[in-house]
Chain A
Amino acid sequence: MRLRLTIDMVRDEVLDRVETLSGQQLLACYQCGRCSAGCPVVDEMDIIPSEVIRLLQLGQVGEVLNSKTIWTCASCLQCASRCPKGVEFSNICDALRAIVLRTRLSEPRLDADEVTPVMVSDAPQMGVVGALRKLNG
């Protein structure tokens, strides 16, 4: 089945929202893939970082908001550091998560109750705080 591209799809308001929230210009990405090449957690992602941006460029916001990818990102900033066009994919991930969490589009990826006792008693609290802020909102 052909993907029917229309002006409304590629200029979807949600894309403006993603750009404003992330502070990134989606069309600046020229799809070199370096972000995907250097991402330490890409093996766990269902859509690789460069493809996430490509899907957004093509107006396919829904597919991206439903992905596992945006919850897998560890915010290590390697993608942002190496991008030749200065596009910070890590920030786009944060923005996409923010859209899901703020609009309660789906349940938060990490439930506060689910943080295992081992984690709470054993892990450094910075990890717990960081995880809850990123994945629970």
Chain B
Amino acid sequence: MEERIGVFVCHCGTNIAGTVDVKRVAEELAGYPGVAHSTDYTYMCSDPGQNLVKEAIKEHDLTGVIVAACSPTLHEATFRRAGTAAGMNPYQVEISNIREQCSWVHQGDKEAATEKAIRTIKVMIEKARLDEALEPISVPMTPRALVVGGGIAGIQAALDIANSGHEVVLVEKDASIGGHMAQLSETFPTLDCSQCIMTPKMVEVAQHPRVKLMTYSEVDDVSGFVGNFKVKIRKKASYVNRDVCTGCGLCSEKCPAKAPSEFDEGLAERPVIYTPFPQAVPNKPVLDAEHCTYFLKDGKCGVCAKVCPLDCIDYEQKDEIVEEEVGAIVVATGYDLYPIENMGEYGGGKYPDVVTSLQFERMLSASGPTGGEVRRPSDNEVPKEVVFLTCCGSRDPESHLPYCSKVCCMYLTKHAMLYKHNAHEGQAYVFYMDVRTGGKGYEEFYTRAAEEDDVLYIRGKVSKIFEEDGKVMVWGVDTLSGKKIEIAADMAVLGLATVPNKAAGELANMLKLHQNEWGFLSEAHPKLRPVESLAPGFYIAGAAQGPKDIPESVAQASGAASKVASLFAETEYHREPIIACIDEDTCAGCKVCVSVCPYDAAEFDEKDKVARIKEAICEGCGACIAACPSGSASQKNLTDEQLYKMVSAALEV
């Protein structure tokens, strides 16, 4: 069939035309074999520009289109849609990148840039001449979602997806959902009781008919692709039959052994068989085998099994693997604090009265280790002077982390205020470099702290903290007055940096999700696609993506949920057809393709003795094509013949 290719050279304003002589390019290509129409235009991506394509397709009976413009990541979809609208198969519309790969990098040499543009377009013309019409591959969509992480972001995402009519599996590694928000006493800037606003959501998600809640569980393995994931979830052995257990609490009450409480950040102990906090959801205990006398001392003890009225204790219980099929995965694994031991200059981990922000939070909490009173861990006295330090580990590219953790200025202000509400005669000092109060009502909150609660803000970074005569000595500075400051405080609270939750790193590696150098999950585009990963079917929400406060985490969770709902709006998922295929006539049955495929997309048919590609799974990576010794494997619309002609055009041979 005669090839009739249309070439459209975009000026892109001066982005391309400023360096490349676009008119000349269009003129020269008009005479190239296979080209039936060649023109240039200022902004091809505009409506008139797209119309040029559509009209030309009809008028010149084009068999293929080349739009020579910016990178295909920007407008390939635009022009494929335009082609489709005019009756052309979208896979016969190609983009030739003469901007990022030509005009933008050769601004000094216009002549060379123009020559290069011409050659670049010739390469794509050669490809287009042999392009076939292809149809997207449809695969069924499993309209169920997996949400990993049961903190506020995970809970919100699960609720929103479930409320949009789809089933959700919510997996949480700890015994209860709630995450760090459950540990907080009050939240800024409203000073709402954290548990009071959160528990309704926790209960709602646990009781939601479309939510399958799996706590004390972790994701073990994920295979498949968007719309068709197979997930293996490990239900960790809790040694309690949590389906039968009514949460009466007798086992915890009678348990003789203790371990440091994770929920209370090590400030108190908990029994070995425990629920993490009173409002836990589900309110069913788990047994911590690492500290359990029964497990450590060969069956000694067993008190919990003896007292349980419903016989729920099962020391033989094993981890259980549950398999789920889902179409989308939302990762909301949250944050941890930068380890206090890393702050050697502040005696982190060495002095009991130098505490982390989460530890202080637990002290402020009414259900916490000190019953809601601020007390010194060393002697349980009420501190009269407390120093709060911002930027412990943050904004320190030299020794710690370069980024700002966003929430510490606000929560330390809150801590200072709550301390004052608690200990009316006390004095709070906050050492800061900049007080960052960007959210709604945040600046006003900070004003309240200074004006209503007499919090003294001192502009300077503390150099050293040490203990002397039972006091916490703080050596700082006030840069505004130029004075070196020393405070003999009773307690110091470190505003430690937020880092991604440790467990999340392994998960991200397993899911092959991109992380930045600090381990935060990477969004697809920093401005325009904040809740999606580049990997199709994976969405991210909350502090796992970067330090953020509760309103932002909730907003991102709802955003991710809406993306999932959009995905599930179609009953089928359409995959790109630019994948591998095997010529069964020449296939020798050597099975090399099967062994090299990283996606398990190649399978060998024992009966016909040939290899076949599973179209639903193939990602078009090309490994089998390169490996096939008989040359039977090829890529649709990127065949060896096309590549040969493209390279020849590029080298002008």
Asked if A and B form a direct contact in the complex, defined as CB atoms under 8 angstroms apart, the reply is: yes
Contact status A34-B461, CB under 8 Å: yes
Contact partners of A30 in chain B: CB under 8 A: 395, 433
B485 within 8 A of A: yes
Other contacts beyond A35-B463, A85-B396: 17, CB < 8 A: A31-B479, A32-B433, A32-B461, A33-B460, A33-B476, A36-B477, A37-B462, A37-B476, A37-B477, A37-B484, A37-B485, A39-B484, A42-B484, A50-B477, A84-B400, A86-B397, A86-B398
- Ordered by A's residue number, 14 sampled pairs between the chains whose C-beta atoms are within 8 Å are A32-B433, A33-B461, A34-B460, A36-B479, A37-B460, A37-B461, A37-B462, A37-B463, A43-B484, A82-B399, A84-B395, A84-B461, A85-B398, A86-B397
A92 within 8 A of B: no
Kindly report which residue of chain B lies nearest to residue A47, judged by CB atoms.
B482
Contact of A48 with B397 at beta-carbon distance under 8 Å, contacts A32-B433, A37-B475 already known = no
Q: CB within 8 Å of A: which of B363-402? A: 391, 395-400
A137 within 8 A of B: no
What 3 A-B pairs are tightest by C-beta distance, nearest first? A38-B463, A84-B396, A37-B463
Contact status B462-A34, CB under 8 Å: yes
Distance between B281 CB and nearest chain A CB, rounded to angstroms: 41
Contact of A33 with B477 at beta-carbon distance under 8 Å, contacts A38-B463, A42-B484, A82-B345 already known = yes
Q: Mark B562-575, 1 if CB is under 8 A from A, else 0.
A: 00000000000000
Q: CB within 8 Å of B: which of A59-90? A: 78, 82-86
Alpha-carbon gap, A84 to B393, bound state (A) = 9
Contact status B459-A33, CB under 8 Å: yes
Contact partners of A31 in chain B: CB under 8 A: 433, 479
B464 within 8 A of A: yes
Contact partners of A42 in chain B: CB under 8 A: 484
Contact partners of A37 in chain B: CB under 8 A: 460-464, 475-477, 484-485
Alpha-carbon gap, A78 to B460, bound state (A) = 16
Distance between B216 CB and nearest chain A CB, rounded to angstroms: 40
Contact status A38-B398, CB under 8 Å: no
Alpha-carbon gap, A83 to B461, bound state (A) = 10
Alpha-carbon gap, A123 to B476, bound state (A) = 33
Contact status B462-A84, CB under 8 Å: no
Alpha-carbon gap, A83 to B479, bound state (A) = 15
Contact status A36-B396, CB under 8 Å: no
A19 within 8 A of B: no
Kindly report which residue of chain B lies nearest to residue A87, judged by CB atoms.
B398
Contact partners of B484 in chain A: CB under 8 A: 36-37, 39, 42-43, 48
Contact partners of B475 in chain A: CB under 8 A: 37-38
A12 within 8 A of B: no
Contact status A84-B399, CB under 8 Å: yes
Q: Mark B456-487, 1 if CB is under 8 A from A, else 0.
A: 00011111100000000001111100101100
Contact status B479-A82, CB under 8 Å: no
Alpha-carbon gap, A39 to B464, bound state (A) = 10
Contact partners of B400 in chain A: CB under 8 A: 84
Alpha-carbon gap, A121 to B277, bound state (A) = 70
Contact partners of B460 in chain A: CB under 8 A: 32-34, 36-37
Kindly report which residue of chain A lies nearest to residue B463, judged by CB atoms.
A38
Alpha-carbon gap, A86 to B460, bound state (A) = 17
Alpha-carbon gap, A52 to B398, bound state (A) = 21
Q: Mark B240-258, 1 if CB is under 8 A from A, else 0.
A: 0000000000000000000
Q: CB within 8 Å of A: which of B423-475? A: 433, 459-464, 475
Contact status A85-B461, CB under 8 Å: no
Alpha-carbon gap, A83 to B477, bound state (A) = 13
Contact partners of B391 in chain A: CB under 8 A: 32, 84
Contact of A82 with B463 at beta-carbon distance under 8 Å, contacts A33-B477, A33-B479, A37-B475 already known = yes
Q: Mark A5-35, 1 if CB is under 8 A from B, else 0.
A: 0000000000000000000000000111111
Distance between A35 CB and nearest chain B CB, rounded to angstroms: 8
Distance between A79 CB and nearest chain B CB, rounded to angstroms: 9
Contact partners of B433 in chain A: CB under 8 A: 30-32
Contact status B463-A50, CB under 8 Å: no
Distance between B494 CB and nearest chain A CB, rounded to angstroms: 15
Contact partners of B479 in chain A: CB under 8 A: 31-33, 36, 50-51
Contact partners of B482 in chain A: CB under 8 A: 48, 51
Distance between A77 CB and nearest chain B CB, rounded to angstroms: 13
Contact status A38-B395, CB under 8 Å: no
Contact partners of A84 in chain B: CB under 8 A: 391, 395-400, 461
Distance between B226 CB and nearest chain A CB, rounded to angstroms: 42
Kindly report which residue of chain A lies nearest to residue B398, judged by CB atoms.
A86
Alpha-carbon gap, A51 to B476, bound state (A) = 15
Contact of A85 with B477 at beta-carbon distance under 8 Å, contacts A32-B460, A37-B461, A37-B485 already known = no
Alpha-carbon gap, A43 to B475, bound state (A) = 13
Alpha-carbon gap, A85 to B463, bound state (A) = 14
Contact partners of B395 in chain A: CB under 8 A: 30, 84
Q: Mark B478-505, 1 if CB is under 8 A from A, else 0.
A: 1100101100000000000000000000
Alpha-carbon gap, A43 to B477, bound state (A) = 12
Alpha-carbon gap, A32 to B477, bound state (A) = 9
Distance between B615 CB and nearest chain A CB, rounded to angstroms: 54
Alpha-carbon gap, A34 to B391, bound state (A) = 12
Distance between B481 CB and nearest chain A CB, rounded to angstroms: 10
Kindly report which residue of chain B lies nearest to residue A80, judged by CB atoms.
B398
Contact status B399-A34, CB under 8 Å: no
Contact partners of A86 in chain B: CB under 8 A: 397-398
Alpha-carbon gap, A50 to B398, bound state (A) = 17
Kindly report which residue of chain B lies nearest to residue A45, judged by CB atoms.
B484
Distance between B8 CB and nearest chain A CB, rounded to angstroms: 48
Q: CB within 8 Å of A: which of B16-64? A: none
Contact partners of A39 in chain B: CB under 8 A: 484
Alpha-carbon gap, A44 to B615, bound state (A) = 77
Distance between B253 CB and nearest chain A CB, rounded to angstroms: 48
Contact partners of B477 in chain A: CB under 8 A: 33-34, 36-37, 48, 50
Distance between A53 CB and nearest chain B CB, rounded to angstroms: 11
Distance between A82 CB and nearest chain B CB, rounded to angstroms: 6
Contact partners of B462 in chain A: CB under 8 A: 34, 37
Contact partners of B399 in chain A: CB under 8 A: 82, 84
Contact partners of A48 in chain B: CB under 8 A: 477, 482, 484
Kindly report which residue of chain B lies nearest to residue A35, judged by CB atoms.
B463
Contact partners of A78 in chain B: CB under 8 A: 463
Contact status B397-A85, CB under 8 Å: yes
Contact partners of A35 in chain B: CB under 8 A: 463
